[in-house]
Amino acid sequence: MNEITHFINGEHVKGTSGRFADVLNPATGDVQAKVPLASKDELAKAIEIAKEAQIAWGNTNAQRRGRVMMKFVELLHRDMDKLAEALSREHGKTLPDAKGDVVRGLEVAEFSIGAPHFMKGEYSAAASTGIDIYSMRQPLGVVAGITPFNFPAMIPMWKFCPAIAAGNAFILKPSERDPSVPNMLAELMIEAGLPKGVLNVVHGDKEAVDGILDHEDIQAIGFVGSTPIAEYIYSRGSANGKRVQCFGGAKNHMIIMPDADIEQAVDALVGAGYGAAGERCMAISVAVPVGKETADKLVAALKPRVEALRVGPYTEGDNVDFGPLVTGDALKRVTGLVDKGVEEGADLVVDGRGFKHSTNPDGFFIGPCLFDNVTEGMDIYKEEIFGPVLSVMRAETYEDAVGYAMRHEYGNGVAIFTRDGDTARDFTHRINVGMVGVNVPIPVPLAYYTFGGWKRSGFGDLNQHGPDAFRFYTRTKTVTSRWPSGVKEGASFTIPVME
């Protein structure tokens, strides 16, 4: 049995806690590896190493740190196929989707090459008589990331690339469900020239998470996962005086106006609703057609497309549209929510619950499901299903459709499909959701903008990647300077003012 290791101080380190978790093959249900679950003592040793390594790294100029990121990007391109295969093997997503996972992280690494620009401060000469004022951005020290299973390449890179480029040392606690790719990324960072100890991967469960939240040397924490855990991490980390950003659940609506191109909308819904088996925080899970005619056309066009989707393991290559869910527990949860939707009175137009793959009957597969006539009170609408389930929620008017998205507790992403510019402009200005698409189903911003949801989808003042990442992983120091030739004699007992 393959035993995965921690990656600490530039080396693979076996776990010593005696506790392990199974790493499953989602396509077969078999255990393919064991991953160690770190104790707080193991975590503390990694933090101690990171703290020592950060001193020299933080004093390395930002241009040289950016060059490490530049080399890292080159190595990611070199090892793209290797990373994607390892990712698909543990997560279950198709190879093209796995490569997309790596590429969207790679883009943040590219953005982080610009660290010298984002670390710049400001300068005001002669702010007062003989006085200059300037500011500087400085790294926080040791920071940490707690990342989810659904993007085991992208989200770790969203966290550690800007943090490290800003001069911090980083502790990464990835999901124990697909831990191999985070280790591979850390290896590539060392090959790119990162000093040992600056990036450390510590595998674990709640014990490791709590260790990160409570350790006095961890200055900041970034998290992506479910909303209940996001709230827990945000509250406990903040109570311990740490800077914390947490991103939680989602229920992303796509509004289809009567003037929209129905075929374009169907293409968007099929890809955004069922890609990666729906295990994306930016997946479209609710389609909101406006008007009965629009809804009838949409459902009639969706039904055959959804029924024709191909489900199977990534090893079947181009013959597969999406793969299995990540675990048996995930399969039970999604199936249970589909059952509940039927009980609550929604119309199950396409039922994928009985799907069994011909050669992998024990895999965690579920076929695509399509509901119609979903209402606000149903659990399949209120909860994030995180599976290949699309709900059609009919709206009589545009105002009704906007109201659905506005009232939902989650506010991660939303989209509208229309040909009318006035409608699109009104929608983008009014909607209380963090990321908005206009004729774009999954509005994930590019790396030089920031990613983050509103309402109970996001906790903290600053978002992921983009300029906000460098603001989050640095603090500003402001210096007011006057040299002896400009000093007047005598003490002053009044508050200083600029003259």
User: Annotated catalytic sites, by residue?
Assistant: 281
Closest CA to 87 of 135, 31, 152, 141: 152
Using DSSP, state whether 483 is helix, strand or coil.
coil
Instruction: Report angle CA 403, 406, 407 to the nearest 5 degrees.
Output: 85
Nearest one of 94, 98, 97 to 82, comparing CA atoms: 98
Q: Smallest Cα–Cα separation from 413: which of 443, 388, 456, 387?
A: 443
R_g (Cα) of the chain, nearest Å: 25
DSSP per position, 72-94: HHHHHHHTHHHHHHHHHHHH---
DSSP category for residue 339: H
Looking up tokens 């193991």 gives 42
Spell out where 96-130 has E strands.
123-128
Cα angle 31-144-148, degrees, rounded to a multiple of 5: 35
Reported as type and span, the H/E element at residue 425 is: helix 421-430
The two three-digit tokens of residue 42, written as one number: 């193991």
Of 145, 213, 151, 158, nearest to 178 (Cα)?
151
∠ CA 378-380-384, nearest 5°, is: 130
